[in-house]
Amino acid sequence: MKITLKLFASLREHLKKHSNGACDINLQEHATVQDVLASLHIPDDIPKIILINGVQKSEIDMLHDGDTLSVFPPIAGG
């Protein structure tokens, strides 16, 4: 199956330099968000905001063909 992955802010460094923080990736059926993050060597202990198709989800959620997975680091403001 194929999904679109979008990483934001400091998480972009885990993708190829010329990806602009987004790319299409092929996954095996029944892959989870956690599987994708592990394949990119994103540490488990980094807090993340995870969206699948614009809806907040968790690392254990399963992905489906055509999904867009967006991952943000925590956002702080003042």
Distance CA 77, CA 51 (A): 20
pLDDT for res 76: 62
What is 13-64 written as a DSSP string?
A: GGS-GGGTTEEEEE--TT-BHHHHHHHTT--TTS--EEEETTEEE-TTPBP-
| 55-78 pLDDT tens trace | 999 999 999 999 999 999 887 665
Distance between alpha carbon 65 and the CA centroid of its chain, in Å? 14
Each residue's pLDDT tens digit, 8-57: 988 988 887 767 888 999 999 999 999 999 999 998 888 999 999 999 99
Beta-strand relationship, 22-26 and 68-72: unpaired
pLDDT of residue 18: 62
Domains of the chain by start residue, with CATH: 2-72 (3.10.20.30)
- 6: pLDDT confidence band, cut at 50, 70 and 90? very high
